[in-house]
Amino acid sequence: MTVMLNVENARKTFTMHLQGGILLPVVQGVSFQVTAGECVVLSGPSGAGKSSILKMIFGNYRCDGGRISVRHQGEMIDVAGAEPRLVLNARRQTIGYVSQFLRAVPRVAALDVVAEPLLMAGVARDEARARAGALLGRLNIPERLWSLPPSTFSGGEQQRVNIARGFISELPILLLDEPTASLDAANRAVVVDLIAAKKQAGVAMIAIVHDDDIRAQIADRTVDVTTFAAAA
Amino acid sequence: MVEVTGASDQPLLVAEGLTKSYGRLAACRDVSFVLYPGEVLAIVGESGSGKSTLLQMLSAQLAPSGGRVSYRMRDGVLRDLAELGEAERRFLFRTDWGYVHQDPAQGLRMAVSAGANVGERLMAVGWNNYGRIRQTASSWLERVEIDVARIDDAPRTYSGGMRQRLQIARNLVTEPRLVFMDEPTGGLDVSVQARLLDLMRSLVNELGLAAIVVTHDLAVARLLSHRVMVMKEGRVIETGLTDQVLDDPREPYTQLLVSSILPA
Ligand SMILES: Nc1ncnc2c1ncn2[C@@H]1O[C@H](COP(=O)(O)OP(=O)(O)OP(=O)(O)O)[C@@H](O)[C@H]1O
Ligand SMILES: Nc1ncnc2c1ncn2[C@@H]1O[C@H](COP(=O)(O)OP(=O)(O)OP(=O)(O)O)[C@@H](O)[C@H]1O
Ligand SMILES: [Mg+2]
Ligand SMILES: [Mg+2]
């Protein structure tokens, strides 16, 4: 199987300069691999560092040591040491991220929020918007909301817009931070189906889910983040 | 490490060791970076940290005390700005670059019509068909959300937000490859700022512009830029991917800066 992501000995400590420079060790020795078509679930209690690991893979948080190798355009690149330009490239072409909360851009319609990753990948506007509409429809977002900015949507609606934005493009690696947390049963089932379809398409996924039932449905493997606990 | 190949592989602008001293005050010290086509760089930092000084050196309006700026001309050759001839320099200012001032009165001619403000840049690059100039000017007014019925009015009759949008239209009409902006949303009230930011964000994306944006507003940096440089006392103290610097700031000063604003 093709290894899409290889994390080796990654380490993260925050230094809180405004609190007298105290060190907040989060994780150390983080090591795992994800192959194409596989969904690995990160488990562990609140504060264990699950979201931090996803953010390090996405290049949103710095990595203080180790390597985070990602298969980008057929070559392994180390996100931990890459130039910003290369990380941005990898985000456009390789790594998608569904964050726990939607970071809404003011005044941009939900349909365009979802279509944007396709536009960046060079898909024509009409086609991008048509595909965005189809996905929003599948996630039960009523059509009357499509032209509105999501900032006034309910928590669950915002999360579904966020999911649609993450799932619309054909990126080979997807990071999912509690994608089903604020959804009802019907919409959770839609997300489980979307994840299954991504697996079929060979996408490598790393997910954080608290719900045992969802985890059982999507996980090919579980990685226990508490084994990476950093000594305080 | 692999190189990602493509047209944007060649730097557009290269700054090396830029320094500016005023007597004993070093307003800007040893600043080096590379900007690629289509990249948006934000320069943030407190008042007096040297942001505007740096921007003026980058845009050849201020001679550095040390270091140099090189720019890739349209023929593909990287040239030292200090060694350009007058005609080449004029070409950059009129066509290839835009400069958006915080105060629109500095970037516009306040007493001539909006249409002429936009059309003037086209005439400077040799356009002479009045009908085409006017048509292009109106389509740009539309793009920056100014009612075309106001095309014959002078910007002194416009609101602050409209003036700023007109200044942007005037700058972008010649399809520059690089735009400098010094506090483009400063002095506007919050709702007007939000609208201007959305507009700038979509124009920069659509046109694939490179831009260097000076701002003390981190929300502006987050929304517009790919990369940030944090300045303090004339030096760059931290630099990186915008969301990384804002979400995981490393330097004490950057942590202070980030903690003192509301999350974007
Ligand atoms: N930007 C940051 N600055 C300082 N500390 C942070 C930052 N981000 C996370 N932390 C700290 O790192 C630790 C791990 O946080 P993280 O969000 O990764 O946990 P988690 O496992 O995802 O928890 P949860 O299940 O509650 O979402 C926490 O102690 C958190 O406070
Ligand atoms: N022409 C000048 N002569 C003397 N000192 C100058 C001159 N221009 C700038 N300075 C000084 O250089 C320092 C940097 O100024 P600069 O205008 O670059 O700051 P800035 O970061 O843009 O600040 P602000 O956010 O307030 O616009 C300041 O201490 C300023 O007083
Ligand atoms: Mg979390
Ligand atoms: Mg200034």
Determine which helix (DSSP H) or strand (DSSP E) holds A63, and give its type and residue range: none
Please tell me the number of Cα atoms within 13 Å of A174 on its side-chain side: 31
**Atom 27 in ligand 1: which residue has the minimum CA distance?**
A46
Per-residue model confidence as pLDDT tens digits over B140-179: 999 999 999 999 999 999 999 999 999 999 999 999 999 9
Amino acid in position B82: A
Q: Which atom of ligand 1 is nearest the CA belonging to A55?
A: 18
Over residues B248-259, the mean pLDDT reads: 95
Distance CA(B63)–CA(B45), nearest Å, equals 22
pLDDT band at B186 (very low <50, low <70, confident <90, very high): confident
Q: Are B20 and B64 in contact (CB under 8 A)?
A: yes
* Nearest chain B Cα distance for residue A193, angstroms: 31
A26 lines ligand 1 (CB under 6 A): yes
Q: Give the chain B residue nearest A125 (alpha carbons).
A: B206
A119 and A136 in contact (C-beta within 8 Å)?
Answer: no
At residue B261, what are phi and psi to the nearest 5 degrees?
A: -120, 165
The predicted pLDDT at position A102 comes to 79
Q: How far apart are CA A142 and CA A151, in angstroms?
A: 16
Q: What's the pLDDT score for residue B46? A: 87
Between A196-205, B200-209, B214-223, the lowest mean confidence (pLDDT) is in: B200-209
Q: Are A14 and A23 in contact (CB under 8 A)?
A: yes
From chain A, the residues in CB contact with B251 under 8 A are 17
Mean pLDDT per block of 10 residues along chain A (232 residues) reads: 96 95 96 98 96 97 97 96 94 92 80 92 93 97 95 91 94 96 93 97 97 96 94 64
Contact B211, B40 (CB under 8 A): yes
The three-state DSSP-derived secondary structure of B167-230 is HHHHHHCCCCCEEEEECCCCCCCHHHHHHHHHHHHHHHHHHCCEEEEECCCHHHHHHHCCEEEE
Contact A105 B256 (CB under 8 A): no
- Bridge-based pairing of strands B227-232 and B235-241 is antiparallel
Q: What is the pLDDT of residues B21-72, one digit of tens each?
A: 999 999 999 999 999 999 999 999 989 999 999 999 999 999 999 999 999 9
Sequence-distant (6+) residues with CB within 8 A of B150 are B114, B141, B158, B162
| Bridge partners of residue B72, in order along the sequence | B78
Q: How far is A217 from chain B (nearest CA, A)?
A: 32
Per-residue pLDDT at B149? 96
Amino acid B190: pLDDT: 80
- Protein residues with C-beta less than 5 angstroms from the ion ligand 4: B 52
Give the whole-angstrom CA distance, residue A137 versus residue A135.
Answer: 5
Of A72, A87, A106, the CB nearest to B198: A106
Q: How many CB atoms lie within 10 A of CB A232?
A: 6
pLDDT at B262 over 60: no
Predicted pLDDT of residue B255: 95
Among residues B33, A209, B237, which one has the least CA distance to residue B255? B237
CA of B119 to the centre of ligand 4 (A): 29
Q: Is the per-residue pLDDT at B3 higher than 50?
A: no
pLDDT, residue B48, reads 93
**Tokens (6 digits) for A50:** 């699950």
Instruction: pLDDT band for B195, please (50, 70, 90 cuts).
Output: confident
Helices B160-172/B190-207 angle, 10° precision: 10
Atom index in ligand 1 nearest the CA of residue A61 equals 1
Identify the residue with better confidence: B3 or A128: A128
B263 pLDDT band, cuts 50/70/90, is very low
The residue nearest atom 18 of ligand 1, judged by CA position, is A49
Task: Write out the two tokens for A182.
Answer: 């604020």
- Find all residues with CB under 8 Å of B77, minimum gap 6, and list them: none
pLDDT for residue B8:
61
Contact B4 A103 (CB under 8 A): no
Q: Mind listing the domains of chain B with CATH numbers?
A: 13-108+178-259 (3.40.50.300)
Question: Is there a contact between A107 and B198 if contact means CB atoms under 8 Å apart?
Answer: yes
Alpha carbons B118 and B133: distance in angstroms, whole number: 9
Q: Worst-scoring range by mean pLDDT, A4-13, B50-59, B112-121, B201-210?
A: B201-210
Assign domain A3-94+171-228 to its CATH architecture.
Answer: 3-Layer(aba) Sandwich (3.40)
pLDDT for B7 beyond 70: no
Q: How far is A75 from chain B (nearest CA, A)?
A: 7
Which sequence spans correspond to the domains of chain A? 3-94+171-228, 104-166
